[in-house]
């Protein structure tokens, strides 16, 4: 997909809720819409998109009132962890969670101490002290998704 048209919220409408944010994944081949509201699991909704351009050739894609079912039967899981230097960790989840705080996290079996921020399915950890170079174990527990599935403890 062509990035600017895919990230333009005016090109989408849905009866599932107001669009809060849009992001692209997997080399701009998947569009993720985040809503202000929480969809009801196993309920049908409709989505329309207009003027989304393909990456090659600029062909426009339009879809009107495509029905879909909000379906979630999996708990949230950690998909990937990236260290940004020795000061920030980004934890990528398979889906957004209701909330996260320091009590959900341990590094090397010790309670995590630092700033915790969450946006969509990404948790950003900024420890109060820089981490020394080396290998660490991050344990995540007690995360809950919007369908109220609790994630299993992960290390």
Residue 153 has pLDDT above 80, yes or no: no
How far is 28 from 119, CA to CA, in rounded Å? Answer: 19
Torsion angle of the four alpha carbons 148, 91, 70, 24, in this order, in degrees rounded to the nearest 10:
160
Residue-wise pLDDT for 68-96, tens only, equals 999 999 999 999 999 998 899 999 999 99
Quote the pLDDT of residue 150. 84
Residue-wise pLDDT for 112-130, tens only, equals 999 999 998 999 999 999 8
Evaluate whether residue 59 is within a structural domain: yes
Number of domains in the chain: 2
Mean pLDDT score of the chain: 91
The verdict on 11 and 62 lying in the same domain is yes
> 141 Cβ partners below 8 Å, 6+ apart?
104, 105, 106, 151, 153, 154
The verdict on 57 and 93 lying in the same domain is no
> 57 Cβ partners below 8 Å, 6+ apart?
none
What residue numbers bound the domain in which 49 lies?
Answer: 3-70
Is residue 60 a contact partner of residue 51, using CB atoms and an 8 Å limit? yes
């Amino acid at each position: 997909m062509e990035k600017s048209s895919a990230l333009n919220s005016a090109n989408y409408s849905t009866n599932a809720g107001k669009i809060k944010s849009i992001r692209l994944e997997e080399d701009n081949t998947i569009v993720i819409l985040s809503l202000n509201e929480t969809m009801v699991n196993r309920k049908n909704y409709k989505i329309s998109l207009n003027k989304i351009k393909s990456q090659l050739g600029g062909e426009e894609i339009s879809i009107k009132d495509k029905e879909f079912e909000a379906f979630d039967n999996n708990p949230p899981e950690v998909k990937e962890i990236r260290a940004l230097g020795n000061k920030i960790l980004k934890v990528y989840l398979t889906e957004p969670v209701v909330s996260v705080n320091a009590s959900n996290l341990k590094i090397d079996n010790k309670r995590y101490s630092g700033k915790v921020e969450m946006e969509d399915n990404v948790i950003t950890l900024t420890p109060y002290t820089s981490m020394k170079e080396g290998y660490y174990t991050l344990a995540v527990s007690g995360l809950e998704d919007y369908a109220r599935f609790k994630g299993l403890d992960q290390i």
